[in-house]
Amino acid sequence: MSEKKKFKIKKGDQVVVLTGKDRGKKGEVLKILTQKDRAIVSGVNVAKKHQRPSNTSAGGITDKERSIHISNLSLLDPESGKPTRVGYKVLESGEKIRVATRSGQTLA
């Protein structure tokens, strides 16, 4: 039995790359690959893909976002726009929400 992994970064979050060739770039998380601990971020780790023409699309060289390890990403603080860690807070209603540790603001 394999347990489903949970990450503090979710699809749709604004993140910044901490290390690697794309260090400092910001983008939105398009997909989380839980089995490999990786994420696909728009505009980050872009590679050229040579594509053969098919019935649905023309061939040629296209840009494609490749995955990046989740440890190299950090969430953007909604207040300051700087990298922040994620914490959790339980409201009086019993709802658990994500909170940016840098500013204390709630994350969507």
- The closest alpha carbon to 43, from 20, 62, 18, 22, belongs to 22
List, for residues 66-104, the tens digit of each pLDDT value.
Answer: 999 999 999 999 999 999 999 999 999 999 999 999 999
d(CA 50, CA 69): 24
Map out the domains of the chain as residue ranges: 14-78
Q: Which CATH number fits domain 14-78: 2.40.30.20, 2.30.30.30, 3.40.50.300, 3.40.50.11710?
A: 2.30.30.30
d(CA 44, CA 26): 8
Residue 41 confidence (pLDDT) = 97
List, for residues 23-68, the tens digit of each pLDDT value.
Answer: 999 999 999 999 999 999 999 999 999 999 999 989 999 999 999 9
DSSP string, the chain: --PPP--S--TT-EEEE-SSTTTT-EEEEEEEETTTTEEEETTSSEEEEEE---SSS--EEEEEEPEEEGGGEEEEPTTT-SEE-EEEEE-TTS-EEEEETTT--B--
